[in-house]
Chain A
């Protein structure tokens, strides 16, 4: 404990909460749009299996959403409890952005969620579709505002410092700051990929358990095709984001690449153990000149090294490794999603090609792959910003609160226990729902709870078609 001062504990606590929180919105943002897709397919074709898919995934959506809400509320308090210096210094910028998130997004999604989940029999089919659209739009709008603020912390713009406080000179520049378009695109695609692999994985799991109806197969297809389309886009977006980082946060990029000395013709380091004591890489395996090629699009391009930022660069190893894990998972996603597409052969109109058992097993293994890449990438960018909280303006140490270490330690241990238990519960319930669809479809609040194997009575056949004609 003696080495863990209040600042370190406050950072661990906030990082733990962020890590826990980000898992869930990342799924719910895209799952909301996928639900809208299922709903629209059902309205258009009248095929029941689309509504079945909606009914199944809306449960996971509700669960995910609830976890996102409760951890998000925790975060709104921890801004103040852990980082009071943050709002004091940049409150004029962070304040309105957060306020707009709450006012334009939180209320919309929270209110419409009730209608979306429970209101289908009480409103028209069209209103229910609109509610689904508003929930999906609300989650995305929320991501827009929070990523605008997050990006501003990385690449601040559109402000001036007056009396030690940031004052806005242009809101457009604040919101659309240099890294925002890249970060927002990268994050939305990450959300899409996380959801795509979740849907493909859970559907494959059901498929492996011999549940091979139209609903499950369309789930597999939706997930696999979505992943196959998004992953190349993500690789391009990630590359552009990296170039943007090189321009605005060169120290972060140097840590990602494991480059110590500023040099021309920089090698791409595949493997190494970065050592901050000797300021060098141990056991380095590298491809000569490749990094210069993809970073500067020239074999002899110059890239700044960490030694140019002594004392002001982030811890190297977590950023370096986080980046490799993210890219590695991304490559795996490319490989697996494209291999699955070649297996499913959507271009053959007449034949129906199925997954092989091994394909399905691999997809099950990749169910939460999106989370791994997401967290790794999130650590790259957020640890990569250290020691700054707001680049060039405010360090994390200056923003920290004066709450004593034991108090933080106490609440931290409670939070950590809770988060681990809830992640465990979440994953097991997702697979439990996949195993027990019939049980899960039982109306909640129904007195006939005890009948484990009653048929699926909630399929809304009576509302097909005409309401949306």
Chain B
């Protein structure tokens, strides 16, 4: 793969890799962090009015910063890989628009639902749910498009649609895991129930994607099923299966334990789901590298000039650790069970 690269000792060679890593990690951070926000939004539909408030209180202080990782990821795509940004976002024009509408609806509903007149609150709750669902699904659809190299046959659109649904399920699993950590009492037990259902759909979804991906993409097929790659890749599905088993067992045991007020292991479903996301991300990165548009545009072809990359890289090296630092601070401030948000 690296044979496509120019001299890696030159800035034009290694900088795109460095930025690919930063962009990938931002997207991963976004998917996990806003993933639980969106999951909570999707799950909200089935909750009682009081529970809805608690659920939103559990994500209220975080969602805005969580969403910013998406801006950073897309920002790097835009600024460091401008060629790819044009191609990818041009091809994804409608799903991107759908996601943006979803994010707009979700974001404004956060505020409107508690500030507009009480009679309108159910409406804004519905907007919140719909926005979360639309954003989650269209992100999955885009992921599907990325895997299929933005082909738009009926077959790939069906594939993308299914990935969209799988991602909704996976976000619900994350969201339910988050709620198990952040809530108490009946809502917490309800979250365990949600997590069980989401787990089932997530497992089916990930299995389907794993089978379908090499079938829709010949180049991924070639990459996966050649020696020694297959040996190196095998730990990914194996570890994913183990994590699913861990989540399943934890969800079996948690209700009894939580009912006794014992929080031991409340972190397991969320933590293990994050593990699944990391593995899926690793698998995806491995499958696509070094391409941004599969088989068509690699990171070196898409990168901007080394000088511009250098300027951004210096800023990123200084600022990103600071961002991580105050993000940790904010999470510590709101550590523990979420309480009613008031201001």
Cα A378 to Cα B232 with chains together (Å): 56
Scoring A80, A104, A443, A452 by chain B CB atoms within 10 A of each residue's CB, the highest score goes to: A80
Cα A92 to Cα B85 with chains together (Å): 14
Give a binary string over B220-253; 1 marks a CB under 8 Å from any A CB, 0 the rest: 0000000000000000000000000000000000
Q: Is B70 part of the binding interface, using a Cβ–Cβ cutoff of 8 Å?
A: yes
Are A69 and B67 in contact, CB atoms less than 8 angstroms apart?
A: yes
Are B116 and A106 in contact, CB atoms less than 8 angstroms apart?
A: no
Question: Which residue of A62, A81, A111, A123 is within 8 Å of B326 (Cβ)?
Answer: A111
Are A440 and B115 in contact, CB atoms less than 8 angstroms apart?
A: yes
CB-based nearest A residue for B53? A445
Q: Is A432 part of the binding interface, using a Cβ–Cβ cutoff of 8 Å?
A: yes
- CB proximity to A under 8 Å, residues B130-152: none
Give a binary string over B275-312; 1 marks a CB under 8 Å from any A CB, 0 the rest: 00000000000000000000000000000110110011
Cα A340 to Cα B327 with chains together (Å): 44
> Which of B96-104, B199-207, B265-273 lies at the interface?
B96-104
Chain B residues with CB under 8 Å of A432's CB are: 115-117
Question: Which residue of B71, B85, B110, B334 is within 8 Å of A84 (Cβ)?
Answer: B85
Chain A residues with CB under 8 Å of B11's CB are: none
Known: A96-B311, A168-B307. A407 touches B323 (CB 8 A): no
Are A113 and B112 in contact, CB atoms less than 8 angstroms apart?
A: no
> Which of B38-46, B56-64, B165-173 lies at the interface?
B56-64
Q: Is A375 part of the binding interface, using a Cβ–Cβ cutoff of 8 Å?
A: no
Are A122 and B308 in contact, CB atoms less than 8 angstroms apart?
A: no
Are B65 and A110 in contact, CB atoms less than 8 angstroms apart?
A: yes
Cα A252 to Cα B274 with chains together (Å): 54
Cα A96 to Cα B319 with chains together (Å): 13
Question: Which residue of B64, B93, B312, B333 is within 8 Å of A69 (Cβ)?
Answer: B64
> Which of B76-84, B210-218, B254-262 lies at the interface?
B76-84
Are B74 and A403 in contact, CB atoms less than 8 angstroms apart?
A: no
- CB proximity to B under 8 Å, residues A109-123: 110-115, 117-120, 122-123
Q: Is A372 part of the binding interface, using a Cβ–Cβ cutoff of 8 Å?
A: no
- CB proximity to B under 8 Å, residues A402-451: 402-403, 407-408, 410-411, 414-415, 418, 422, 425, 428-429, 432-433, 436, 439-440, 442-447, 449
Chain A residues with CB under 8 Å of B105's CB are: 418
Q: Is B90 part of the binding interface, using a Cβ–Cβ cutoff of 8 Å?
A: yes
Cα A119 to Cα B57 with chains together (Å): 12
Chain A residues with CB under 8 Å of B65's CB are: 107, 110-111, 113-114
Chain B residues with CB under 8 Å of A81's CB are: 89-90, 93, 96-97
Q: Is B94 part of the binding interface, using a Cβ–Cβ cutoff of 8 Å?
A: yes
Are A98 and B75 in contact, CB atoms less than 8 angstroms apart?
A: yes
Known: A70-B104, A92-B307, A110-B65. A55 touches B343 (CB 8 A): yes
Chain A residues with CB under 8 Å of B79's CB are: 87, 91, 94-96, 98-99
Are B86 and A104 in contact, CB atoms less than 8 angstroms apart?
A: no
Question: Which residue of A76, A96, A111, A415 is within 8 Å of B312 (Cβ)?
Answer: A96
Known: A84-B86, A91-B82, A99-B79. A429 touches B116 (CB 8 A): yes
Cα A69 to Cα B65 with chains together (Å): 10
Chain B residues with CB under 8 Å of A55's CB are: 343
Q: Is A342 part of the binding interface, using a Cβ–Cβ cutoff of 8 Å?
A: no
Cα A239 to Cα B207 with chains together (Å): 65
Are A112 and B326 in contact, CB atoms less than 8 angstroms apart?
A: yes
Interface residues on A, range: 35 or more
Q: Is B3 part of the binding interface, using a Cβ–Cβ cutoff of 8 Å?
A: no
Question: Which residue of A72, A115, A418 is within 8 Å of B330 (Cβ)?
Answer: A115
Cα A80 to Cα B93 with chains together (Å): 10
Q: Is B340 part of the binding interface, using a Cβ–Cβ cutoff of 8 Å?
A: yes
Main secondary structure of the interface of B (DSSP, over half): helix
Q: Is A108 part of the binding interface, using a Cβ–Cβ cutoff of 8 Å?
A: yes
Are B340 and A445 in contact, CB atoms less than 8 angstroms apart?
A: yes
CB-based nearest A residue for B66? A110
Cα A458 to Cα B88 with chains together (Å): 48
- Counted as pairs of residues, one from A and one from B, with CB atoms less than 8 Å apart, the total is 250
In angstroms, how far is the closest chain B Cβ from the Cβ of A182?
25
Are B307 and A76 in contact, CB atoms less than 8 angstroms apart?
A: no
Question: Which residue of B82, B316, B334 is within 8 Å of A118 (Cβ)?
Answer: B334
Chain A residues with CB under 8 Å of B340's CB are: 443-446
Question: Which residue of A59, A92, A107, A425 is within 8 Å of B308 (Cβ)?
Answer: A92
Q: Is B111 part of the binding interface, using a Cβ–Cβ cutoff of 8 Å?
A: yes
In angstroms, how far is the closest chain B Cβ from the Cβ of A313?
29
Cα A85 to Cα B83 with chains together (Å): 9
In angstroms, how far is the closest chain A Cβ from the Cβ of B75?
5
Chain B residues with CB under 8 Å of A411's CB are: 93-94, 97
Cα A429 to Cα B110 with chains together (Å): 13
Q: Is A102 part of the binding interface, using a Cβ–Cβ cutoff of 8 Å?
A: yes
Cα A98 to Cα B85 with chains together (Å): 14
Are B342 and A418 in contact, CB atoms less than 8 angstroms apart?
A: no
Chain B residues with CB under 8 Å of A447's CB are: 50, 53
Known: A80-B89, A444-B114. A103 touches B342 (CB 8 A): no
Known: A77-B96, A95-B78, A444-B53. A119 touches B333 (CB 8 A): yes
- CB proximity to A under 8 Å, residues B103-128: 103-105, 107-108, 110-112, 114-118
Are B343 and A104 in contact, CB atoms less than 8 angstroms apart?
A: no
Q: Is A79 part of the binding interface, using a Cβ–Cβ cutoff of 8 Å?
A: yes
Chain A residues with CB under 8 Å of B107's CB are: 66-67, 69-70
Are B333 and A122 in contact, CB atoms less than 8 angstroms apart?
A: yes
Q: Is A29 part of the binding interface, using a Cβ–Cβ cutoff of 8 Å?
A: no
Chain B residues with CB under 8 Å of A218's CB are: none
- CB proximity to B under 8 Å, residues A224-265: none
Are B68 and A415 in contact, CB atoms less than 8 angstroms apart?
A: no
In angstroms, how far is the closest chain A Cβ from the Cβ of B187?
12
Chain B residues with CB under 8 Å of A77's CB are: 74, 89, 96, 100
Q: Is A74 part of the binding interface, using a Cβ–Cβ cutoff of 8 Å?
A: yes
A/B interface sample: 12 pairs, CB < 8 A: A62-B343, A63-B111, A66-B108, A69-B107, A70-B104, A84-B90, A111-B68, A122-B334, A418-B104, A428-B116, A433-B115, A458-B343
The 7 tightest CB contacts between A and B, nearest first, are A84-B86, A95-B79, A443-B342, A114-B61, A445-B340, A87-B82, A70-B107
- A70-B108, A73-B67, A115-B61 known; 19 new pairs, CB 8 Å cut-off, are A73-B104, A77-B100, A81-B96, A91-B79, A92-B304, A94-B79, A99-B315, A107-B323, A114-B330, A115-B330, A403-B93, A407-B94, A432-B116, A440-B115, A444-B114, A444-B341, A445-B54, A449-B53, A458-B343
